[in-house]
Amino acid sequence: MSESSGQSTPAMTLPPDRRPASSEGYWRKNLTYLGGLMSVWFVISYGAGILFVEPLNAFRLPGTGFPLGFWFAQQGSIYVFVVLIFVYVYLMNRLDREFGVDEDAE
């Protein structure tokens, strides 16, 4: 298997001692993105939809019958999940291109 990052070798799946040096930067950025997106995921579903649902239910989504917490649990969280996946795909494709490991380059 080739060790250079420009090849089709999936650098991140090699054990740490065999990874090319540039993959460290790739991995750090990957973790940053993951951390950010997973925080949003947690805050919206477990935060707004479950833990703080009662206080949020005191408000209504303007112009509708939805109590806000209930809306987050039933609809809002799902919309946010879909957006999160699209954002992740966009960020990772950009990162893959930046480090030359995108699938089209193979």
Partner 1 sequence: MTVQAWTFVLVGLSFALYIGIAIWSRANTTSEFYVAGKGVSPLANGMATAADWMSAASFISMAGIISFSGYDGSVYLMGWTGGYVLLALLLAPYLRKFGAYTVPDFVGDRYYSQTARIVAVVCAIFVSFTYVAGQMRGVGIVFSRFLEVDITVGVAIGMGIVFFYAVLGGMKGITYTQVAQYCVLIFAYLVPAIFLSLLITGNVIPQIGFGGVDQTSGTFLLDRLNDLHQDLGFAAYTSGEKSTIDIFFITAALMAGTAGLPHVIIRF
Q: Is 90 in the site for partner 1 (CB under 8 A)?
A: no
Buried b (16+ CB within 10 A) or exposed e, 88-106: eeebeeebbeebebeeeee
The sign of the torsion formed by the CA atoms of 67, 72, 75, 76 equals positive
Taking the complex as a whole, how short is the minimal distance between the CB of residue 21 and partner 1, in angstroms?
19
Q: How many residues bind partner 1 (CB under 8 A)?
A: 33
Among 1, 13, 17, 104, binds partner 1 (CB under 8 A): 13
Q: Is 31 in the site for partner 1 (CB under 8 A)?
A: no
What residues are paired with 67 via a beta bridge?
Answer: 60
Q: What's the CA gap between 40 and 88, in Å, rounded?
A: 12
Among 7, 22, 41, 43, binds partner 1 (CB under 8 A): 41
Q: Is 59 in the site for partner 1 (CB under 8 A)?
A: no
Q: Is 12 in the site for partner 1 (CB under 8 A)?
A: yes
